[in-house]
Structure formats: structure tokens, C-alpha cells
Copies of this chain bind each other. A is one copy, B any other.
Amino acid sequence: MNPYKTKSSRIVWSCPWYSVRQDEIITPDGRPGIYNTVETTDAVWIVPVTPEGQIVMIYNYRYTVDDWCWEVPAGSVKPGQTVEEAAREELLEEVGGTAVSLQKIGQFYTANGFCNEVGHYFLATGVTLGATNHESTEVMDIRPLPIDEALRMARAGEISDGTAVLALLLSESTLRDISVSFASP
């Protein structure tokens, strides 16, 4: 049940990637107010694991924070796509990856304090790499890392993108099982 009353709703700013919706509301304690929501489409994050037991990480410049960030492949769900189709498309575009298996590992609001984005998280296994198809606003290196090293970095604070750390920690136990299968006897 929504404890707020919405009196009006309008888009006050927009760009091709997101918009700001401004609602006149009555708060649960009866006072008039304004609530602004950044509206955007759903998004996908993918932890890609190769048959050799490596996680295909990305080292990515993010203009928003003026910083280089370790990340996993991610992107928006386009109109008409299922989240699985979007995950496979981003995997292909960003790292040239094709997965044998795609397993959903979670679904979360990215930043529910101000934004309506829903993130769908996947573990992709049997990932083989080919050519990429980056957008001109994407500046990234593809950097496969051993599973244990990626998990160490996630735990050690060496990965600054919270969504990438969430993706890695969600798949941690499955990843450790895969990693063990590559350990020397």
C-alpha cells in the first residue's frame, strides 16, 4: 500500500537515457510536498566466466565520477527485450562474449532513494570471447581475471563500482566452486 497521495505528476527534465518526474504529493502525515524521481529503464549486470575459470572484467572510464572503474558488463534493457536478451546483448557488445549458460542471480533496485532503476543480475558461464561493438561514449579495456583474484579485489575494496561488487558477491559461492575445479590437484 502506498501511504502517499499523488496529486499531480509531470516530467520536468529528460534526456535519451533518463528523465526526472516531479510529483505533487501529500505525505503520510498529511502535509503537501514534492517528490522527484529519476526514471530510467531496467538494466542488466553480467558476471561472465570463461571455460578457463576467468571472470571477464572491464576496466572502464566513467565520466560521471571522473574515474577508472573495475566493472562487469552491464547495460540497459531496450524496449521489447527480455532481460535475458539484454544480458546476452551487453555481454556480446561489451566483451564480445557468448555464454553457454545464463543464470539469474538477483534483482535489485539500484538507488531507490531517488531513482526507479531495477537491476537484473546474471551469472554467465562457458563464456567465449570474440569481437566487441562498443558505443563511442564507452572507454573500456577488457581484462579477464582469475576468479579468486576478482573476488579478492571485491572484498578488498579495490573495485569501486558497487553494482559490480554486488554482482560478484552474489555469485561468490558458485564462483568458488568453479575456481576449485581449476586448482592443481
Contacts and interface: CB of A to CB of B under 8 A. Distances in A.
B3 A139 contact: yes
Interface residues of A, number: 62
A185 interface: no
Interface string A79-115: 0000000000000000000000000001111111111
A2 interface: yes
Given A107-B157, A136-B31, A139-B28, A162 B119 contact: yes
A69 B109 contact: yes
A40 interface: yes
Interface stretch (A17-25, A47-55, A175-183): A17-25
Given A13-B12, A139-B28, A166-B162, A111 B117 contact: yes
